[in-house]
């Protein structure tokens, strides 16, 4: 059962009652347009929020505060969701009925502390900058991650899809403390805010701790990406070549072929029995890894693989052949249907996933339940999966070629 209420300032509270859990999650999601530079400020801000506030200005004091809440935990991160960037803050604690203390109200108060009362000083900002620059450095060292970011950046130039949620390394040192303070005030006084309380908890009626600021209405997140077919390559000092192929599609979560699209991606490259895995990795022994995935809020599907550079052209040819096989041969989809159904079913076994699914529905203005999505997936036909191919563009191909290959 879910109860939703709107506070006077536009912040929305969603209380989701799930009796099977011994913990309660309070999760705040803040949604705002995904923009260059602002994405870097977001990443710096969440690093400053994670373990300190103005009231608890040291890690030790914050940990002591969590200990008084019987080992409560805090998680703060940020990610892209179509046209928007999300700041995701959560406080998880044991159910109050096990400790005879009202932890739920304390969880909400601590979450409000993160939202309204962050600690701002030059020392903390410099620490956040060092951490973020190290993160960018680790991505650059991980050739697979770097190749995917570069492929996305160049596949749809001039479109929102080229902007990632982690920002750009060259912007990190440019951000000033005053800019971050101004950005924080923008977050408090605008931007959509939804709070999800998930678990077996008593109903909480007093949310005065969230009375400050304002929450805008949720804006549309679905992003219509148009991938520009083509080829691009860069080189790196290594033995392995990363190949990323990016495709656009007009199939979004509202499309009649959406569930068939999920099945298509699964049989293409998400299972041990998938076409890419069987024919390119197992039979041809060309790939160290190969997979297919999708960005459903962006209208994008992509394939990623790590190969020997000498097999670059052959791998591209074989990927195209797998599309042809799905289009022209008999295909088996039951394994993919069970795989997707099982993954969705597991959503109901995790507090965060339950809240995330409810947020998905809010963003999409959808009322579909997890069981409803599973039912639709189980009704997908072979003809529908084949029809998906008519909604997939030609790819943009990015090769991150190792220059030390044999």
* Maximum distance among all Cα pairs of the chain, rounded to whole angstroms: 67
CATH for 230-402, options being 3.30.830.10, 1.20.120.140, 1.10.287.990, 2.120.10.30: 3.30.830.10
pLDDT digits (tens, 9 = 90+) for 157-185: 999 999 999 999 999 999 999 999 999 99
87-93: average pLDDT = 97
115-120: average pLDDT = 97
Q: Is the confidence at residue 149, as pLDDT, over 60?
A: yes
**Mean of all residue pLDDT scores within the chain:** 95
Query: Mapping DSSP to helix (H, G, I), strand (E, B) and coil, where does residue 132 land?
Result: helix
32's tokens: 């705002």
Q: Is the confidence at residue 97, as pLDDT, over 70?
A: yes
Residue 288: per-residue pLDDT: 87
Residue 254: per-residue pLDDT: 95
Supply φ then ψ for residue 247, to 5 degrees.
Answer: -125, 145
Q: Is the confidence at residue 381, as pLDDT, over 80?
A: yes
d(CA 232, CA 399): 6
Sheet holding 287-295, edge to edge: 230-236, 396-402, 240-248, 300-308, 287-295
Q: Worst-scoring range by mean pLDDT, 7-11, 92-96, 142-146?
A: 92-96
Q: Is the confidence at residue 405, as pLDDT, over 70?
A: no
Domain boundaries, the chain: 2-210, 230-402
Residue 372: per-residue pLDDT: 95
311-330: average pLDDT = 97
Those residues whose C-beta lies under 8 Å from the C-beta of residue 143, and which sit 6 or more positions away, are: 236, 238, 240, 242, 306, 400, 402
d(CA 33, CA 38): 9
Those residues whose C-beta lies under 8 Å from the C-beta of residue 218, and which sit 6 or more positions away, are: 31, 192, 194, 362, 363
Q: Give the architecture-level CATH label for domain 2-210.
A: 2-Layer Sandwich (3.30)
314-323: average pLDDT = 97
Residue 320: per-residue pLDDT: 97
Name the residue among 295, 255, 264 with its Cα closest to residue 159. Answer: 295
Tell me which H or E stretch contains 374.
Answer: helix 370-378
Q: Is the confidence at residue 31, as pLDDT, over 60?
A: yes
Name the residue among 198, 157, 169, 140 with its Cα closest to residue 18. Answer: 198
52-70: average pLDDT = 95
User: Is there a common fold for 2-210 and 230-402?
Assistant: yes
Those residues whose C-beta lies under 8 Å from the C-beta of residue 205, and which sit 6 or more positions away, are: none
pLDDT digits (tens, 9 = 90+) for 192-221: 999 999 998 777 778 999 999 999 988 878
């Amino acid at each position: 059962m879910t109860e939703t209420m709107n506070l006077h300032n536009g912040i929305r509270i969603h209380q989701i009652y799930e009796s099977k859990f011994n913990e309660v999650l309070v999760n705040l999601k803040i949604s705002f347009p995904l923009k260059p530079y602002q994405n870097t400020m977001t990443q710096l801000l969440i690093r400053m929020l994670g373990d300190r506030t103005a009231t608890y200005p040291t890690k030790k004091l914050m940990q002591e505060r969590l200990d008084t809440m019987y080992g409560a935990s805090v998680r703060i991160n940020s990610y892209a969701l179509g046209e928007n960037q999300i700041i995701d803050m959560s406080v998880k604690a044991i159910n109050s009925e096990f400790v005879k203390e009202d932890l739920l109200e304390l969880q909400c108060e601590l979450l409000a502390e993160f939202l309204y009362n962050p600690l701002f000083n030059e020392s903390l900002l410099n620490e956040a900058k060092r951490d973020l620059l190290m993160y960018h450095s680790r991505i650059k060292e991980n050739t697979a991650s770097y190749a995917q970011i570069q492929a996305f950046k160049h596949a749809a130039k001039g479109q929102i899809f080229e902007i990632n949620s982690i920002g750009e390394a060259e912007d990190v040192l440019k951000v000033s403390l005053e800019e971050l303070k101004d950005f924080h005030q923008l977050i408090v006084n605008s931007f959509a805010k939804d709070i999800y309380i998930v678990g077996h908890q008593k109903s909480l009626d007093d949310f005065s701790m969230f009375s400050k600021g304002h929450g805008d209405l949720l804006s549309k997140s679905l992003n219509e990406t148009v991938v520009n077919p083509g080829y691009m390559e860069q080189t790196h000092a290594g033995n392995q070549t990363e190949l990323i192929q990016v495709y656009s599609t007009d199939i979004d979560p509202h499309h009649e072929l959406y569930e068939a699209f999920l099945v298509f991606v699964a049989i293409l490259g998400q299972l041990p029995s998938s076409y890419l895995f069987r024919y390119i990795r197992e039979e041809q022994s060309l790939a160290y890894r190969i997979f297919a995935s999708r960005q459903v809020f962006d209208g994008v599907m992509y394939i990623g693989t790590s190969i020997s550079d000498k097999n670059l052209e052959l791998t591209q040819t074989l990927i195209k052949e797998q599309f042809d096989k799905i289009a022209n041969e008999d295909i088996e989809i039951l394994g993919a249907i069970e795989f997707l159904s099982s993954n969705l079913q597991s959503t109901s076994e995790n507090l965060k996933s339950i809240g995330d699914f409810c947020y998905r529905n809010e963003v999409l203005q959808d009322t579909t339940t997890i069981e409803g999505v599973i039912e639709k997936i189980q009704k997908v036909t072979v003809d529908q999966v084949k029809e998906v191919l008519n909604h997939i563009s030609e790819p943009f191909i990015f090769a991150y070629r190792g220059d030390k290959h044999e």
